[in-house]
Structure 1
Amino acid sequence: MAQSTAHDELVERLDVDVRSLVRREGVDPQRDSAVVRRIAEGVVRDHDERSLTGAVAPVADVEALVGELVARVSGFGPLQPLLDDPSVEEVWINDPSRVFVARNGRHELTNLMLSPGQVTELVERMLKSSGRRIDVSSPFVDAMLPEGHRLHVVLEGISRGFSAVNIRKFVLRAARLGDLVELGSLTAPAAAFLEAAVRAGLNVLVAGGTQAGKTTMLNCLAAAIPGGDRVVSAEEVYELRFPHPDWVPLQTRQAGLEGTGEIRLRDLVKESLRMRPSRIIV
């Protein structure tokens, strides 16, 4: 316990030093994580050199400490290791002491224990990077994180006891219908039929349960759209990622502090009709 406390105190102290240098250099920690890592490496290196004189305690794992500092300043703190873990598909917080992840479609309760202040600070940082907000008048929010992960927050009061936080990671395992065949998700004849349907311009409805692979399927279907077609997509949050030379992605927007400026999905569909689309993806 004493060793853990000493480590936490060290991280807090070096965190202050890193943030001070970040502000001094005018670095945006969300956009310039490589610069933040360079600063963190310098701060830890200076500390390690001072430890040779006995003035401060030595660092057991320099690389791990640098990573922790970068996660605190530029990433999403204690959640960053879960977001960096390629086996984790989704992370959610029911309350600060109950953080879950999904791996291979199965739920797991992690041993991560957060404080209410940490959760609030993490949500604020995530929303800052997305340009969206949450408050009493707008207690729900969907936002896209820099890595492409989708954030959903339900404010306390609507969610009983504590704000509910979900982070669905963007994991691209298939980019084309042929990839789904290789993964065993589609048969070759089914993939050929769907590709022909898309090329023929038929309407296609993709439906399914949570984590069933709807977005992946839609990306693969969209990749089959001929390059000569003009595509306009309307989404609540940018999630589609497919290669196409003539594609305009549109996203909804929540109302501002004055209660104005909201852009709904139906507004995007209406506007997309005025953009000479060959295909509309909603």
Structure 2
Amino acid sequence: MALLQPLRSPVVPDDVVARLDEQLRAAVRREAIDPQRDPESVRRLAVALVREHDERSLTGVVTPVGDVAAVVAELVARVAGFGPLQPYLDDPTVEEVWINSPDRVFVARRGRHELTNLVLTEGQVGELVERMLKSTGRRVDLSRPFVDAMLPAGHRLHVVLEGIARGFSAVNVRKFVVRATRLDELVGLGTLTPEAARFLEASVRAGLNILVTGGTQAGKTTMLNCLAAAIPGGERVISAEEVFEIRFPHPDWVALQTRQEGLEGNGEVRLRDLVKESLRMRPSRIIVGEVRAEECLDLLIALNAGVPGMCTLHANSAREALTKACTLPLLAGENISARFVVPTVAASVDLVVHLALDASGARRVGEVVAVPGRMEGDVIETETVFEWREGALRRGIGLPPRIERYERAGVDVVRLLREAG
């Protein structure tokens, strides 16, 4: 594990930066600026203050700052950004930043972990968490010691307070690094082959129900976004997720997210509430960001009722994903049995796209599995459409279900797959 040097600007006198910091905060309050929502205004004020300070330094009254741009960046990071973490958040190669303790700050690049030599104080960590949560409308306290939130820049924040996390609060900031927005762009990144991309695009157009699976950081959300981008523009899309992460271009799309309960203990909106509510909004498609619990039952019922959909699910393989999809609905209550759930999964899920993170940190599609709707006892049958074999994603022997849907979409899927083989 490499020791990463912190991304800091050239050193400037601490007393100069502290004085300018104080003046900038006063100017922000005076102009009633929300720093996190209007960082450009903060930058404008910082530039003016540093320029004025630099001009005064010519008379010898104050110490010159040296690198004006570096001081402006430092001030903006302190007031409008997230202080010492801001350089990492601004770095396009950094995918995630996390704090295990004030002196153990890590980042991830290209799927690999790196320890930085950035050392914070407990006070700085607490201040960073408070500042991050300020603009999200969510909270973390002793009664609710962990929180998921979306930061203004689109980064996902997760906090576990000390007491639940041993020794210190644990903080994760996962950046939404846009490397691909369409399936053909994933081909360029080596995530899947052109033949698999054409098949998946045709499957989306045909309205098949798709389950995207994989481990943490395998690229599930990126794949979901790329699949969603293939939805025809004439359809109405409703998405539901814990925090807003789904992003794709579409003219008729409503995005929903969950809400924490208030200080009075009410007002919580759960993911399964959003799935139920989406059915009342005339959807042509339903997308669920990630299925983790009993909301899986509500999604299965929606898919089984004829509303095409997609979702992501943590799993180690396509087969394990189907097993998990059969298990999660049982959390909805004692009156839900496997005798109902397993056939419903077999009838509702059409394709499973499984992604994996290899040893080098590259994200790849490991298999695309079709679910024809048949069962052998309590086991759902599957057919492999594409699989990772001999160092590449290759055509399997399986065919997707619902061939008639492809025909209605104007796609000869049998020919498409024959050409892929």
* TM-score, normalising length: structure 2: 0.65
Match of residue 165 from structure 2: 159
Find out whether 1:206 has 2:217 as its counterpart. no
Equivalent in 184, 196, 199 of residue 190 of structure 1: 196
Q: Return the letter of the residue paired with 1:44.
A: V
Deviations 1:93-123 (A, max 9, x none): 0011111001111111111111111111111
Q: Return the letter of the residue paired with 1:168.
A: R
Determine helix, strand or coil for the equivalent of 1:89.
strand
Partners of 1:34 and 1:166 lie apart in 2 by 26
Partners of 1:126 and 1:47 lie apart in 2 by 30
Match of residue 238 from structure 2: 232
Deviations 1:76-104 (A, max 9, x none): 11111000011111000001111100111
Equivalent in 53, 62, 81 of residue 59 of structure 2: 53
Match of residue 280 from structure 2: 274
Find out whether 1:95 has 2:101 as its counterpart. yes
Deviations 1:193-240 (A, max 9, x none): 111111111110011111100000000000111111111000000001
Partners of 1:233 and 1:263 lie apart in 2 by 14
Give matches, 1:111-122, under 5 Å. Answer: 111-122=117-128
Partners of 1:264 and 1:21 lie apart in 2 by 40
Deviations 1:136-167 (A, max 9, x none): 11111111111111111111111111110000
Deviations 1:242-261 (A, max 9, x none): 01111110000011111110
Find out whether 1:251 has 2:257 as its counterpart. yes
Determine helix, strand or coil for the equivalent of 1:109.
strand
Match of residue 82 from structure 2: 76
CA contact (8 A) 2:43 2:72 kept: yes
Partners of 2:11 and 2:39 lie apart in 1 by 27
> Whose strand fraction is larger, Structure 1's or Structure 2's?
2
Match of residue 136 from structure 2: 130
Determine helix, strand or coil for the equivalent of 1:44.
helix
Match of residue 36 from structure 1: 42
Q: Return the letter of the residue paired with 1:246.
A: D
Find out whether 1:144 has 2:150 as its counterpart. yes
Partners of 2:224 and 2:259 lie apart in 1 by 22
Q: Return the letter of the residue paired with 1:257.
A: L
Q: Return the letter of the residue paired with 1:55.
A: V
Q: Return the letter of the residue paired with 2:15.
A: E
Match of residue 10 from structure 1: 16
Task: Give how far 1:5 is off.
Answer: 9.7
Q: Return the letter of the residue paired with 1:88.
A: V
Give the alignment's Cα RMSD to 1 decimal. 1.3
Find out whether 1:264 has 2:296 as its counterpart. no
Q: Which has the higher contact order (CA 8 A, sep 6+)?
A: 2
Q: Which runs of 5+ in 1 are unaligned?
A: none
Determine helix, strand or coil for the equivalent of 1:244.
coil
Identity %: 77
CA contact (8 A) 2:16 2:65 kept: no
Runs of 4+ with >3 A deviation? none
Q: Which runs of 5+ in 2 are unaligned?
A: 1-9, 289-421
Q: 1:147 to 1:180 in 2, by over 3 A?
A: same
